Chains A and B, each alone.
Chain A
Amino acid sequence: MRLNEDPEAFEAFYRRHVDGVMRFVVRRVSDPHLAADLTADIFLAALDSGHTYRPGRGSETGWLYGVARNVVSAQYRRTAREAKATSRVAGRRLMDDHDLDRMEERIDAERQMRRALKAMGDLPEGERAVLELVAIDQLTVKEAAVALGINGVTARVRLHRARRALEDVASSSAVYVEGQA
């Protein structure tokens, strides 16, 4: 894939994924300006690392979500100011008032997903990562495996464990709530 050399190929790729990427972002951040920046950063990162995509090794979606995860988790490790200084395209500067409203609507729509992500916070990192991509971002297990750079069997095992752990949490808290009433 020569994403970073062929504007037409890139445009097709962008149109296939821009909606999914924006949804991925607003499930993780609730500031519309930051969401715009991260959307721009994810596509820039995809352009920068286009050479790491191996068509044979799984879906484009899995690869892109791997890139997206790296960009968003890198964001958590530094301040927004630092992030701005390193970005070539400042997403927030491409938004007008109307776009800002639309971004806020997107953020509102994903409130429940952000809560669900929070609920997964206590799971071990490896398991949480698979569950996040499958349950929240609706990737297939295979795509999630590509995104995380692990094999499909490992992904499946981790997903199973994560689901079981969450079920335990859910049922025990349900009992607790009933006991209080």
Chain B
Amino acid sequence: MTDFEERLLSALKDDIAGRKADPVVQPPARRGRTRRAVGLAAAVAGVAAATVVAMNVYGGSAAPAFAVTRNADGSVEVRISEFRDPGELTAKLAAAGVTAVVDYLPADQTCKKPRGGHGAGDGRAENSFLAGANGTGIVFRIDKGQVAAGQTLVLAVSVSQADKPPTAVSLEVVKGAVAPCEATALNLPPATDSTGTSEKTDGAVGGG
């Protein structure tokens, strides 16, 4: 069920959901627009003040770096628009019931694998990954039960700047203790090498 066609379907459905959500909640991808909206609201006093307050409650003066949403089906959706505050993201995930370890590394580095033992399967997380609507950021979903008790979601993102698209994203589910991230060179296969997709480059941004 988790082949390319199914993953694409779920990514496209997320896109539909994103369209619906757009006018109501400002997703991270619309960061630029949100900021502009805040500026406009601030300039126009009176009624607009309410808007400013609402937005401040939602995201402070700038849009949040990430959003963790619990869906009705028990899955947890994670949107990361800026790769900063990994500790805060870990805390948010914990609050949503997902034990996680998050590391942000320079664009040419990743964490040495494996980070720990794997349960059933090879620890590979078959999540639907998609880029944010503006090409930066990532969105993924953790299905209910995917990270069971005693397991940890281990996320490592290789990225040059907090608000730039990552060069690689690695996601695995580790059973038991998680080794600290030991930075190692990221070997991105050449874009034309169709056989070079190793687990090190899971979710690597092609052509980047």
Contacts and interface: CB of A to CB of B under 8 A. Distances in A.
A109 to B, nearest CB: 16
Q: What is the size category of the interface that chain A forms with chain B? A: 35 or more
Contacts of A96: 4, 124, 126, 197, 202
Nearest to B204: A93
B122 to A, nearest CB: 11
A88 B13 contact: no
B7 A104 contact: no
B15 A94 contact: no
Interface stretch (A2-10, A60-68, A131-139, A144-152): A2-10
A103 to B, nearest CB: 7
B47 interface: no
A100 B3 CA distance: 10
A47 to B, nearest CB: 7
Interface in B111-138: 124, 126, 128-131, 133, 135
B189 to A, nearest CB: 11
B12 A47 contact: yes
A80 interface: yes
A97 B4 CA distance: 10
Contact of A90 (B124, B130, B192): B130
Contact of B197 (A39, A91, A100): A100
B206 A94 contact: no
B145 interface: no
Contact of B194 (A18, A43, A100): A100
A85 interface: yes
A23 interface: no
Interface residues of B, number: 33
Given A4-B16, A93-B204, A104 B130 contact: no
A99 B204 CA distance: 15
A89 B9 contact: no
Given A18-B5, A44-B12, A104-B194, A5 B130 contact: no
Interface in B147-196: 191-192, 194
Given A89-B131, A90-B131, A33 B194 contact: yes
A86 B132 CA distance: 11
Nearest to A84: B207
A144 to B, nearest CB: 25
A94 B11 contact: yes
18 contacts: A7-B17, A18-B8, A18-B9, A43-B12, A47-B12, A47-B15, A47-B16, A47-B19, A84-B206, A87-B131, A87-B135, A89-B15, A90-B130, A90-B131, A93-B204, A94-B8, A97-B197, A99-B4
The 6 A-B residue pairs whose C-beta atoms are closest, nearest first, are: A99-B4, A94-B7, A92-B206, A89-B11, A84-B207, A7-B13
Given A10-B13, A87-B135, A88-B15, 10 more contacts: A15-B9, A31-B192, A36-B4, A43-B12, A44-B12, A88-B131, A91-B4, A95-B197, A96-B124, A96-B197
Interface of B: 3-5, 7-9, 11-13, 15-17, 19-20, 124, 126, 128-131, 133, 135, 191-192, 194, 197, 202-208
